């Protein structure tokens, strides 16, 4: 919620900055990674899914750092599909915590959510890799 309020206020009052453009997605990634690691430690999520999500975020951060190192900094503008990933992850984890706390059987819904998160994560990896490869092969800064 604070992320949404922060984004709204920054845009509404013209208080955006280049630093904020980098820190906001980084804060989202730190939050998502900590949620997934916590859910993995509690055995609420399969460990392979935790590794997949954390690896995706490390890949993204590593790609941005690599682009800076080689002198072709990539912009930090997510694809519309990727922009919706943090809210989905927060809703998903919000469903997992009470399920774990009250120890009820989620049945097919857990399987459906794991499949959806896996698919969205793999799609996100494909978008980021495609964008990074195209950017690194181009002549300009994107």
**Local confidence band at 47 (pLDDT 50, 70, 90 cut-offs):** very high
- Residue 71 Rama label (left phi>0; alpha psi -120 to 50; beta): left
Within 13 Å of residue 142, how many CA atoms lie on the same side as its CB?
Answer: 14
Q: Would you kindly state where each structural domain of the chain is located, as residue ranges?
A: 2-137
What is the value of pTM for the model shown?
Answer: 0.71
pLDDT tens per residue across span 10-27: 777 777 777 777 777 778
pLDDT tens per residue across span 85-138: 555 665 666 666 666 667 766 677 778 888 888 898 899 889 888 888 888 887
Give percent helix, percent strand, percent coil of the chain, each to the nearest 5: 75, 0, 25
> Is residue 1's pLDDT more than 80?
no
């Amino acid at each position: 919620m604070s992320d949404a309020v922060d984004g709204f206020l920054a845009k509404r009052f013209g208080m955006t900055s280049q630093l904020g453009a980098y820190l906001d997605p980084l804060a989202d990634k730190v939050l998502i990674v900590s949620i997934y690691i916590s859910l993995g430690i509690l055995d609420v999520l399969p460990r392979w899914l935790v590794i997949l999500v954390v690896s995706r975020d490390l890949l993204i951060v590593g790609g941005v750092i690599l682009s800076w190192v080689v002198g072709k900094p990539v912009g930090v503008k997510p694809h519309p599909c990727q922009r919706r990933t943090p809210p989905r992850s927060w809703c998903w984890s919000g469903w997992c915590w009470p399920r774990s706390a009250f120890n009820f059987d989620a049945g097919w819904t857990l399987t459906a959510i794991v499949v959806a998160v896996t698919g969205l994560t793999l799609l996100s990896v494909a978008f980021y890799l495609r964008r990074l490869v195209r950017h690194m092969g181009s002549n300009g800064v994107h």
